[in-house]
Structure 1
């Protein structure tokens, strides 16, 4: 995709760092949405293609007869309506960052060598700045195209996950999207995926959620040179788990004190995992199973529902903890690993404090309290 001939420095400076992630996310979205006939209902904000519904919000429209882009917030047909929430958000970003392309109601694209591609660049740039899961451009009439982004409330559209195989292509594509420093594009890609990066001389270093180490070297002109991926440790807890779940685990550990106080008032009497309850005094407290560890503390098995929700989190998709069964045999401190797994999962999934219960096989079942009866702090 090109079309950057005459975009403002403010547009380039703001959008370019998102380029690699935006192309990766758009590719994931296009794989999710099957090709075929489509309809759109902007009152209900639903785009349907080949039977699959996507919640959308209007960005704007492109007129092919005079090569102009009209933002949704400036279109009298939609201005002020919920249908153009995305366009309103883009305008707000433009005001904040001084981007004329996002604050001018009618953007003239006739000066570009490829005006149609410039319109696509505007749409992709808006998607990137909003952090949306994709954008859609369709021919709405003989001389016009309508552009929409995936609405924030549509969680069915997958988030792209960093992959060691496809990442080099995404970084190179993103670096060529708009003029600007390639290292900002690489750093932006890492940031979108929650990967902390470190600058070491002419290179950026980061760790993939899988635990693999990434090194991106830059030549003396700042261009991307070599992109290297080296297998990292698969030990549990992984760096990806600590990074994404560490704070959540610490928060849930604070909840545990409140539950202990609750137990002093309403002593534990038993539990029913099938019913999802913990009997405390006269109360049946709702619980949610997180996972189980065997008697030898060498294998952790996630509850099916918990695993499905964790595996959908982009920062954990390729972490060893995202597997249905986690090997703990190499852990230097199994007790610490179990605390980080259970409490981290509870925190990430908005659960309360964690409780470990005896399992039928001599192992231990970890649950989180999911009941407003028990205070969290």
Structure 2
């Protein structure tokens, strides 16, 4: 039996599904995809420089669990969780288990991430919300918000939008197509007439909408004017935001795609090199968990049992929100440009210019700084490490790459950890349209760099790196997000 939400939740949510699809279509056209940030004190969300009132309803973790904001210690006592508390109250009145359990388990769904997306749409309908936003958070988790700002208009019927909404609303979750269709007509104040396999209604302006049904499927939608000709809603102008607050200083810049492509290839391998350096220091330099001291004169990171040659790479002012490359790193930054395929005529990206970089215009500030520094060190053939917010490129020749082949330092478990951690750093930097390419490149490049065979038999669901009897599988969501990395025996069940 296919996993699904409870009948109690579906019964409440189904009538809203078509108009929610219609509303979200309008919302996404008015508030285009881009860098997202939120302010818990207002509460609000800012996307692409547009700030709107919004509330957190829940978060989704990689283990397939959803946590309601009313149950989350980070949000439950804040005004930003007030709409989530409304959902809990609704669940208590209607006896809906998913709305009253602090952490509903979505892992039994065929696609838990998609189940979380569907839950957001259901919550939009139950709360009569005007939009929905998903934010990337640490460790590849996701935070879900509903927008209830009156600056976002309620969607008016438009032929193309309503046709798509009625079809998608019926297909979104299991159940009779009639329920979301009936709910859509009610939303627009139409009193429908029912016939065999069809529902017909007249909108306020006289336009006629005829929806053909077959069980759980909308098979056709026809929109005509009062006289059977061109519908009036087809010539109406597009709706606009009214009174939305523009936030030009909010995070709006994304990590440059040329540099992101390089970071995707280098990030996981960079983490392996850092981990191998720590192991070397532990084995030969008396590291034992005690941080080294930077010896500027000797150009070494000094451990209790000796030093490793290194160069200053940069500094991240995390609290102030800036990153600065260290003096004398022109050669390293040139290697980064070369790896990105940037020639003299391509201009100088601010991320590599050597000037102080304002991190406040980006989404995840620390991830931007660390990704720049890690990638630069690795493409230059060095090993990245840090002391607090001071970044270094370890250049010591004793840290050769030969011991990094096979399944990586630490075997299959170590390889899985490197890929998982690399994906976590990049998660908040990758735009939707490049996520699949970037994340698959991260896994494939790691396998190739460590001498593992790349097997594609599990595509598109997973990519494998194989060495001897061992296999590391990297699983991808439909949007390219790395959802799981598992080590195990070749062609066996990962353990």
Q: Is the structural similarity TM-score above 0.5?
A: yes
CA-CA distance at 1:210 after TM superposition: 2.9
SS for the counterpart of 1:107 is coil
Cross-structure match for 1:170: 165
**Residue 227 of structure 1 aligns with which residue?**
221
2:91, 2:205 → 1: CA distance? 36
The corresponding residue for 1:99 is 96
Q: Which residue of 1 aligns with 2:136?
A: 139
CA change 1:143–1:231 in 2 (3 A) is closer
Q: Which residue of 2 aligns with 1:320?
A: none
Query: Does the C-alpha gap of structure 1 residues 215 and 115 become closer, same or farther in structure 2, counting only changes over 3 Å?
Result: same
What's the offset of the Cα at 1:223? 4.1
Displacement of 1:198 in angstroms is 2.4
Q: CA RMSD in A?
A: 2.7
**Counterpart check, 1:79 vs 2:94:** no
What's 2:39 paired with? 41
Change over 3 Å in CA distance of 1:108–1:312 after alignment to 2: closer
Question: In 2, distance between residues paired with 1:203 and 1:138?
Answer: 39
Contact 1:32 1:158 in 2 (8 A): no
1:233, distance to aligned residue in structure 2 (A): 5.5
Among 9, 12, 34, which residue is 2:10 paired with?
12
2:200 to 205, 209, 222: 205
| Structure-2 change in CA distance of 1:165 and 1:209 (3 Å) | farther
Q: What residue in structure 2 maps to residue 193 of structure 1?
A: 188
Deviation (angstroms), 1:5: 2.8
Give runs of aligned pairs for residues 248-267 of structure 1, distance below 5 A.
Answer: none
The aligned residue for residue 69 of structure 1 is 66
Do the aligned partners of 2:68 and 2:84 also contact (CA within 8 Å) in 1?
yes
Aligned residue pairs total 234
Please list, as runs of the form range in 1=range in 2, the aligned pairs for 1:121-136 lying within 5 A after superposition. 121-136=118-133
| Inter-partner Cα distance in structure 2 for 1:110 and 1:223 | 27
Paired with 1:108 and 1:222, the residues of 2 have a C-alpha distance of: 26
Any conservation in 1 of the 2:40–2:78 contact (CA below 8 Å)? no
Whole-angstrom distance in 1 between the partners of 2:3 and 2:85: 26
Per-residue CA distance 1:245-293 (angstroms, 9 max, x = gap) = xxxxxxxxxxxxxxxxxxxxxxxxxxxxxxxxxxxxxxxxxxxxxxxxx
SS at match of 1:166: helix
C-alpha distance in 2 between matches for 1:86 and 1:109: 21
CA distance in 2, matches of 1:224, 1:74: 38
Deviations 1:286-321 (A, max 9, x none): xxxxxxxxxxxxxxxxxxxxxx9x9999xxxxxxxx
Instruction: Return 5+ residue gaps in structure 1 as ranges.
Output: 235-239, 241-307, 314-377
**Given the superposition, is the C-alpha separation of residues 148 and 214 from structure 1 closer, same or farther in structure 2, using an over 3 Å criterion?**
same
Q: How far 1:102 sits from its partner (Å)?
A: 0.9
Partner of 1:111: 108
Measured in 1, the distance between the counterparts of 2:42 and 2:30 equals 21
Separation in structure 2 between the aligned mates of residue 122 and residue 34 of structure 1, nearest angstrom: 21
Q: 1:143 and 1:51 mapped to 2: Cα distance?
A: 23
Mapping 1:273-292, distance limit 5 Å: none
User: What displacement does 1:76 show?
Assistant: 1.9
CA contact (8 A) 1:16 1:177 kept: no
Cα deviation per residue 1:60-82 (whole Å; 9 max; x = unaligned)?
Answer: 11111x21111011112222331
Deviation digits for residues 133-164 of structure 1 (CA, Å, limit 9, x no counterpart): 0111111212321111013xx21112211123
Asked if 1:51 is matched to 2:46, the reply is no
Provide structure 2 residue ranges, at least 5 long, that are not aligned to the other structure: 243-495
Q: Aligned in 2, Cα 1:137/1:222: closer, same or farther, shift over 3 Å?
A: closer
Q: 1:206 to 1:110 in 2, by over 3 A?
A: same
Larger radius of gyration: 2
Q: Is the 8 A contact 1:71 1:106 kept in 2?
A: yes
Q: Decide whether aligned partners of structure 1 residues 312 and 74 sit closer, same or farther in structure 2, where only a CA change above 3 A counts.
A: closer
Deviation at residue 165 of structure 1 after TM alignment:
3.1
Contact 2:167–2:217, Cα closer than 8 Å, also in 1: no
Structure 1 residues 68 and 194: CA distance shift in structure 2, 3 A: same
CA drift at 1:124 = 1.1
Matched residue, 1:159? 154
CA distance in 2, matches of 1:182, 1:7: 17
What's the offset of the Cα at 1:46? 1.7
In 1: Cα distance, 2:59 partner to 2:146 partner: 12
User: In 2, distance between residues paired with 1:223 and 1:174?
Assistant: 10
Q: Deviations over 1:181-231 (max 9, x none)?
A: 111111101111222222244432211233111222334x46434433232
Question: For residue 299 of structure 1, what is the aligned residue in structure 2?
Answer: none
Q: Give the match's secondary structure for 1:158.
A: coil
